[in-house]
Amino acid sequence: MKKKKMKKSELTAAERKQLRRDEQARAAGERPEAEKAERASRSKVYAVALLVVAVIVISVGVAVPTYMSCNYMFERNPVAVIEMKAGDRTLTMKYELFAADCPRACANFVFLAEAGFFDGAVVFDTQNSRVRFGGYYLTEDASGGVSYAHRSDDTAFLSGLTDEFSEEHYTDSDGETDYTEMLRYTLRSDSTSYDYTAYDFMLCANVSGSDASATEFQICGRKDTLSTNDTIWNEAQSDGKEFEVQAFGRPLGGDEATGEAIEYILGMEKSDTYMRSYFLSTAEPVTVSSVKIYNFETTWTENRYEHGFESYMEEINGINVSSSNWTKKYI
């Protein structure tokens, strides 16, 4: 409905006075006060709206790259973030994984990490300028002392991995379930392998030829401190065990904290007691809090793999799945 225009006689004295001022302002080519006020009010509304939009755009512009950076989405290769505890000190190591060149070693490490295999594990050996870790964790022995147990004997943990292996690898000769057989596979070397002295602080896997299964790993110290000897040795018993290793990761570019963490562990006071005959580690335990993986597609979880991880590794010729070759155990 069209607004009814009021006659001047119907206006109050103040309204008639304001009307004359408005007519004078228009005659002088200026805007009336009421229009100025309305225009100023609209400008404030527009300014607030633009400010809100700007805040949203900036927030998204900061949040998205920050999220991508925190999840290492800008990195070309997958990233493993290993967090360890040494007393009250938290040690964080970030590794670039050579997934394209070392698909077997990387897939094995990622599988174990995402299964929680390393969570709570202990650094079990620091001989020969290496930080070795895998499935060992601390437990109390029969006499009340401290000893090592291994995740490969943890039936509660292993029972959650039955979709990843064929039944023959967790069944004994009598047809009874025996989960301790599950992780006794060995890892074939990748065709493109890196020398563990190529860079400082390389991340390495146990491959065929090792005395241990593929569930044990080691991080090397600075390359100029390394010998070619990968044997862990008990001087008193004049006996040792041999590791055949392949590097499959290096510290993430620009991350100096990784090297500092490794050198801190290697510089810790050593224990004066060998564990399980061969291991000599730090007097104060160093434990693995977590191993998190970024930018790696776990393709073995796809339905096309009958036995999950085992079938995937067989497809890429990463492990020999025959029972006669499923014989390695942790040391």
In CATH, what number is assigned to the domain containing residue 143? 2.40.100.10
258 touches 265 (CB < 8 A): no
Flag whether 7 is in a domain: no
Alpha helices in the chain (DSSP H): 13-27, 33-70, 103-114, 155-158, 256-266, 308-315
- What is the C-alpha to C-alpha distance for residues 246 and 196, in angstroms, rounded to an integer? 7
Flag whether 130 is in a domain: yes
Domains identified in the chain, total number: 1
What pLDDT is attached to residue 29?
A: 65
What pLDDT is attached to residue 154?
A: 94
Indicate the Cα dihedral angle 294, 299, 300, 302, nearest 10°. 130
Residues 6+ apart with CB under 8 A from 210: 186, 216, 242, 243, 244, 245, 328
What pLDDT is attached to residue 64?
A: 41
Q: E strand or H helix at 242, and its extent?
A: strand 239-242
Flag whether 216 is in a domain: yes
Residue 223: domain span:
75-325
- What is the C-alpha to C-alpha distance for residues 261 and 95, in angstroms, rounded to an integer? 12
What pLDDT is attached to residue 255?
A: 85
What pLDDT is attached to residue 39?
A: 64
Flag whether 28 is in a domain: no
Flag whether 17 is in a domain: no
Exposure string for 193-205, b = 16+ CB within 10 A, e = fewer = bbebbebbbbbbb
What pLDDT is attached to residue 252?
A: 94
- pLDDT per position as a tens digit, 115-129: 999 999 999 999 889
What pLDDT is attached to residue 14?
A: 66
Flag whether 53 is in a domain: no
- pLDDT per position as a tens digit, 24-64: 666 766 666 666 666 666 667 666 777 777 666 555 454 44
- What is the C-alpha to C-alpha distance for residues 214 and 302, in angstroms, rounded to an integer? 23
The predicted model scores a pTM of 0.77
What pLDDT is attached to residue 175?
A: 87
Flag whether 27 is in a domain: no
Flag whether 331 is in a domain: no
Taking alpha carbons only, the member of 98, 78, 104, 100 closest to residue 315 is 104
pLDDT block averages, 10 residues each, the chain of length 331: 53 67 68 63 69 63 46 79 96 96 95 96 93 92 85 93 93 88 90 84 86 87 79 68 86 91 96 86 96 90 86 92 80 71
